[in-house]
Structure 1
Amino acid sequence: MDKPELVASDVDGTLLDPMQQITERTARVIARVLAADTPFVLVSGRPPRWIPGVAEMAGLSGYAVCANGASVYDIGADEVLAVREMPAMRLHDVVEAVAAALPDIRVAAERTTVGREQEEPFATERGFRNPWGNPKGETDEPDIVSRAEVLGRPATKLLLRHPGLTSQQMVEVVETVLVDVDLEVTYSSNNGLIEISAAGVTKASGLGWVCDLLDVPARKVVAFGDMPNDLPMLEWAGHGVAMDNAHPEVLAVADEVTAPNSEDGVAQVLERWF
């Protein structure tokens, strides 16, 4: 493609190296992207509260698409600009149906609201374990409540965890159980965790919201990713790039495969233009 007008990148397994850091090479090319007045947008399954640390390492203060497209966060203003959520009744119905097939699941919910203040942004029932460690941040403890309380408020993302299955196995069961329910089911780790969002909410829809705001067409976007939750974004963007360490489904749809995140794969592509 020609020089892109916007760069969009997944975070974990893509922009960050295996030590969860931004390498010097990647930081340098991000700085050149920004110096060329080209927006660099983080597009992640992470909630907004997990973005500032990455943004600081990368030198970013623009926009981040969070929770697989369910929210858009202004990094510099520390403010959530847009949210797409599921009502509490839908959460109850989904969990009831899935629990009938997978009785050992544990549930958690991300709750994001428009604005700067985020009250009780994450709730989990006892026994839920996040593959990425403490689910509320590096120092805070999560809100451990009953399942009824987890599901008692609207949520931007419903998380289901099963100790004995891979995420792919969970998806196969859940898609059968929820065959007539219009929702987005995906995963960003294969460690027995799936992520459910409202119908039409994907990384592509969230990134599309940002691109409309910035007046950048999809064909002028280069996007990077590695897991199934990145599929809609890579297919939507003008040039979708998969990391060499990506999931096979992502490798199959990408316009290009770059080096793994352990070898600055994002930087290797961006250095063509910046």
Structure 2
Amino acid sequence: MRAPLKLAAIDLDGTLLSPDKTISAENLAALQQLREAGLEIVVATGRHITRIGSIMPFVPDARWVVTCQGAAAHSLQKGESIHSVHLTPEEANLILKTGEQLGFSCIIYAEDQVRTLGKGPFIDFYGAYAGGMPQASSPAELEGLRIHKLIWLGEEGRIDGLPELPEVKAIPLYQIRTHEWIYEFLPRQASKAVGVAAVADLLGIKAEEVVAFGDADNDIPLFQWAGHSFAMPHGMPTAREAAHEIAPVGPPESAFARAVATLHLVPCTLP
């Protein structure tokens, strides 16, 4: 028997958000169902905290957000960080140098802002994909910044082969592919599972009382940690395999709503 659910951890891109980056009426109604059933809503995204401002007004009951693939977690009510891990300067410099040598564009998720050292079509694509253009910066401006993660951008065929490159294998960090043309590097102690667990611990909620929703490989650690999990039917094959359930087949913009419907939640008295 499934433990009573107390917290819902919800991915944004590919899960709560439609392909056009909006939230469908069905998914908005599903968020309300979760709230009426008494679940704490936690957004768990790879995005930077500065890249979710246009989305969070549609999730007004979310008091917590996990960002940067779990390298950071925030209390929205208090406007403060409750969890934060960073790359060391040596790690960041190694990734930047190796990426430049291999010909990849690089995105820097510093604590304060999303930044880039260069220009190009992949940078423009990333700005449209991830909620805003990164801030152009010089190497001198990066000095002293605390960096949550670094991203390489490149052609799909080149990203395919990255895990087998000796230069990449030699980088002792958490590595994850999050899109056909996006490859990310984070501290080993970073994942969405770690970020959501930091929120759950503050609230006295156990892993078995958490339900997670996602669509990609970066959601797999969260799926493995949470007591219950749903992958979107249009998600990555490895994510679908890792989840406890797959949302019923249908339009991608309402997949999250169909997953919530299968929980058969019962409304409770709201606080």
**TM-score normalised by length of structure 1:** 0.84
Match of residue 229 from structure 2: 240
Task: Kindly report which structure 2 residues correspond to 1:222-241, keeping only aligned pairs within 5 A, or say none.
Answer: 222-241=211-230
Q: Where in structure 2 are there 5+ consecutive unaligned residues?
A: 267-271
Question: Could you give the per-residue CA deviations for residues 140-188 of structure 1, whole angstroms, max 9, x where no partner exists?
Answer: x633233564476330111112246454433443xx4243443111132
Match of residue 68 from structure 1: 69
2:195 aligned with 1:194, yes or no? no
Counting matched residue pairs gives 260
Match of residue 146 from structure 2: 154
Give the counterpart of 1:214 among 203, 210, 221.
203
Q: 2:71·2:148 contact (CA, 8 Å) conserved in 1? A: yes
Question: Could you give the per-residue CA deviations for residues 226-252 of structure 1, whole angstroms, max 9, x where no partner exists?
Answer: 111111111111112110011111112
Shift of 1:223: 0.6
Shift of 1:29: 2.3
Task: Kindly report which structure 2 residues correspond to 1:15-54, keeping only aligned pairs within 5 A, or say none.
Answer: 15-54=16-55
Shift of 1:255: 1.1
Q: 1:125·1:144 contact (CA, 8 Å) conserved in 2? A: yes
Match of residue 86 from structure 2: 85
Question: Could you give the per-residue CA deviations for residues 55-88 of structure 1, whole angstroms, max 9, x where no partner exists?
Answer: 2113333101000001112223443332111122
Q: Helix, strand or coil for the counterpart of 1:11? A: coil
User: In 2 relative to 1, CA 261–71 (structure 1 residues): closer, same or farther, beyond 3 Å?
Assistant: farther
Q: Detail structure 1 runs of 4+ shifted over 4 Å in the superposition.
A: 134-138, 147-152
CA distance in 1, matches of 2:223, 2:156: 30
CA distance in 2, matches of 1:124, 1:45: 17
Shift of 1:105: 1.2
Identity %: 23
**TM-score normalised by length of structure 2:** 0.85
Shift of 1:137: 5.0
Q: For structure 1, which segment, 231-240 or 158-167, has the greater mean C-alpha deviation from structure 2 after superposition? A: 158-167
2:105 aligned with 1:106, yes or no? yes
